[in-house]
Amino acid sequence: MTAIHSFVILYKNFLRHYAWDVIILSTFIAALLVSSISNYTLISFIIKFVITIILLQLIYFDIRKSSSGFSDLIKSPDINNFYLLLIILILVPSISLFYSFNPYFGSLKILSLIISTIPLIIIFRYFLITRTAKRISVFITLLSIFVFFGTIITILFPFNYLAGQSTLFGNWSHVIYGRFIGSALIILLSIQLLGKGKNIYALAAISGLALASTIQSGLRAAVIGISITIPILIIHTIVKGKFTIQKKISLFMTILLVTFILLSIPNNFRTQQRYLVFSNPNLEIFKSDSSINPRITAYNYCIESIKEFALCGVGFGGFFSTEIGKDIAWMKYPHNIFLEIATELGVIALAGSFVLLFYVFKRAIALNFSLFLYLIFVLIQALFSKDLPSQTMLLISFALVGLKKTSAT
């Protein structure tokens, strides 16, 4: 009876202190994952719309519970720049529909921006403004839980890349999973190496699982991303004088755990095949790869299209048109955010996106180095897969525009 009584007390404490944060943050994470779906089917729009509505309702109740920070969300001196950015993000693509090669598909992309991407940018800004130590702790815990169960699932049920899905979990994209688990790794490893050492060995274990799971996802862009960001993180830790003995041991534990996992699990032939391109990277190897070769073709078509329609592009959604390239008529977007912007919206919009990203990255590195590393990682992902509306993990960084330093640190 004592054990049952203790469990009841723990359960009540959880409901009283953590349940609300778990619900709202779990819904945000789910919405972030759903927003990355880019197949533009009716069911995907329904899922995006429903989860956005649910999340907005939760935010409304959260505001009712505590109005702290909400005034900054709607009345801060620099908020006009943020509002202007969101308007531009919708207005420019919408105007381009008048000359788009495929206005119907362009309209679908704009709809995805409106019902999913834009709301998540605003909600992420709200979380930055109203953050608390408890909510951050809950978020890290949720990431750790996702990593733990995600690693088990990907080991037991590897992705079937030819079918574009997991053998058990339906259309569970290895791209969406790899992006998220890689992002979680960057966040967790940053806390492990740049933090104050609290729970460092538990973080080392979770980071090891996240690293192994990122590799197991078979998402090559994610492996490239962590190969760039992790060395930067380690160098930054050393330069800042934070690479203590304890952190060196924790990093060694992470590497040891990754090695053990990768050597212990059964070999997935398809995953190994995907990484063969790294062993001898050349044009012939790339052309023989069923994922890379269409991208090369798409990139070439984009370059030719930019030469012809440099100023304003072919309109939002215009890449998905037989006028662009019959060889890749089935491909909805070029899987590169910069080529997509230049092709569909023109070089002026491309230049504007460079300026905006430079500002956001500069802002991130001034606010929080972990956030800066996260942005590097998700930008790398945007260079190899998905289209503009589904780059939500990158676009939520627009929440930093006009945000005071005390709100985002």
Amino acid at the residue 311 = L
Q: Where are the domains of the chain?
A: 1-130+280-409, 133-278
Distance CA 100, CA 312 (A): 10
The pLDDT value recorded for residue 164 is 44
Four-point Cα dihedral 114, 117, 122, 124, nearest 10? 160
What pLDDT, on a 0 to 100 scale, did the predictor assign at position 154? Answer: 81
The neighbour count for residue 126, using CB atoms within 10 Å, is 20
Element (H or E) spanning 111, and its range? helix 103-112
- Looking at residue 171, its pLDDT comes to 46
Q: Checking phi first, is residue 335 left (phi over 0); if not, alpha (psi -120 to 50) or beta?
A: left
Contacts of 38 (CB under 8 A, 6+ apart): 112, 332, 333, 386, 387, 389, 390
CA-based diameter of the chain, in Å? 78
Q: What is the pLDDT of residue 64?
A: 84
CB 214 within 8 A of CB 222: yes
Predicted structure pTM score: 0.90
DSSP state of 369: H
Q: What is the pLDDT of residues 269-285, one digit of tens each?
A: 667 777 777 777 766 67
Q: For each successive 10 residues of the chain (409 residues), what is the average pLDDT?
A: 52 67 95 92 94 95 74 65 91 95 94 96 92 90 93 80 47 81 95 86 93 90 94 94 91 93 75 72 69 85 90 91 64 92 95 94 90 95 93 93 64
In terms of Cα–Cα distance, which of 396, 407, 374, 391 is closest to 120? 396
| pLDDT single digits (tens) 337-362 | 999 999 999 999 999 999 999 999 99
Closest CA to 140 of 84, 182, 191, 102: 191
Element (H, E) at 148: helix 133-156
Q: What is d(CA 194, CA 235) in angstroms, rounded to the nearest whole number?
A: 11
Handedness of CA 234, 236, 238, 243 (dihedral sign): negative
Q: What is the pLDDT of residue 130?
A: 87
Give the integer Cα–Cα distance in Å for 98 and 101: 9
